Amino acid sequence: MRPQMTLLDVLYNLFGFLVFGFYALLVVGVVLRVIMKRRPIGVSLAWLALILAIPVVGVSAYLILGEIRLGRRRAKLAQAMYRPYINWLQNLVAGFPHQPVIPSPKANPLVALIQSRLGMPLLGGNRVTLLSEPETILDQLIADIQQATISCYLEFYIWQEGGRADAVAEALIQAVRRGVDCRILLDSVGSAEFFDTGWPWRLRDAGVRIVEVLPVKTWRMPLHRQDLRMHRKLVIIDEQIAYTGSMNLVDPELFKQSSGVGQWIDVMVRVMGPVVSVMWSLFVRDWEMETGERLLDARPHEPEYWVEKGHHVQLIPSGPFVGGDCIQQILLQAIYQAEHSLVLTTPYFVPDDPLVAALQSAAARGVLVQLIIPERNDSRMVSFACNAFLEELLAAGVEIYRFRKGLLHTKSVLVDDEIALIGTVNLDRRSLWLNFESTLLIDDYSFATMLKGLQQDYIQQGKRLRLTEWRERSWIQRMLENVFYLFSPLL
């Protein structure tokens, strides 16, 4: 005889049915959302696989990380800021004699694409210095801050206390005491450890304004995607000197020494000339996005310009904003127009299908394609995902070198020994689609020659990967590579 169900049993079963129904509807709704977004097929399939294989993890991850959400306030600010900044750039160019400059035939398609998508001008009369030694970079930066009389604006993904980085902070404190306007933008995730030290308080007490960019808070997860990061490395001093490149505000002798990858190898470019004004406008745009304070028209802006011949430079800001995803198009355009040689350096190589196809196509038409990556990486997942792409590139004729003297962190592209792209962008989906980044296009043979010499030094300090040797790796390594390859669109 079956026992009769009590009212409590009925309510319990009804509650379970409602919970299951809600959960099923949530999974179906998220699946439909992924399908309707019409993103690259690999990205959509990776999300669908994760959602259907591990629904609780997959749905939670997608709701937190699946879509680009900068928040309503930032969206409104971005819309309000667009036209004033474009007008400011147009007035800037009109104020220079002999501007805009004529790009070289090789650079012309890239310059036109950047101008069309981002409104960024190619400007001549610049002096660009390639700095590749960390001591030289930090010493020069400190010296420039010590000479500042108007402003020091710094924007970094990572600031880590210790060593020469502390000397930079002390120089800023001294600058504020001289009446210099000092402001710092630091990414919330990259500089999380720095915000837990006493330095932010010391700097603020001295008068330096520090802003935590894209703060990570649990309550913000439904409204803001938490892994959208400010990855730029940008310094503007007195609106006449600027730096950008791959180096964070750290002392490489101390930075991540416990990770077992050796010292990080970076470059920065020091710029003087008209393009500094454009780089200055990028910082003040980022400042306004975070604080709502407009510095663009705060005081008369008097950029520096030299009549004599100098480097032709164009700034390429990128990120999750309208037009900011064109960095992938720029990179593909640069690869497809290569005729003789193509050299790429990156610490994190997790490309999408179009980038892999472009590199294979370049090698197939006889271009010498050389990819330089670190032998050891600080991210195991990224390392396995990277390795999954190497065999097909080696088979296509791409030369791959694994740098052995530390973690090569330089991000650069050199096309036909003539055009250089250098900045903060890694050759992975995160840099191409999610992070706020900055890159310089330098249309100048003399600078390209300097960059070529540095890249060849990297090659000399690396080991060339051979296809026959690479195919002999263990099946366990192959399996792990293929597993992480499936999820490479999400890394």
Catalytic positions: 231, 233, 238, 409, 411, 416
169-203: string of b/e by CB count within 10 Å (b at 16+)? bebbeebbeeebbbbbbbbbbbbeebeeeebbeeb
Cα–Cα dist 310/273, whole Å: 9
99: burial class by Cβ within 10 Å (0-12, 13-18, 19+)? middle
Selection from 83, 88, 78, 82 nearest residue 278 by Cα: 88
Task: Give kind and range of the element (H or E) at residue 413.
Answer: strand 412-415
- CA pair distance 304, 147, nearest whole angstrom: 16
Other Cβ atoms closer than 10 A to 12? 12
- Taking the C-alpha atoms of residue 411 and residue 114, their distance in angstroms, rounded to an integer, is 19
Q: How far apart are CA 356 and CA 488, in angstroms?
A: 13
CA nearest 348: which of 395, 384, 312, 317?
384
Neighbours of 455 (CB within 10 A): 21
Contact between residue 42 and residue 489 where contact means Cβ atoms under 8 Å apart = yes
Characterize the bridge pairing of strands 264-265 and 407-408.
parallel
Helix 55-65 vs helix 7-36: angle between axes, to the nearest 10 degrees? 50
Residue type for 132, please?
S
Rounded distance between C-alpha atoms, residue 242 and residue 128, angstroms: 10
Residue 158's identity, in one-letter code, is I
Show the CA angle centred on residue 144, arms to residues 141 and 150, nearest 5°. 125
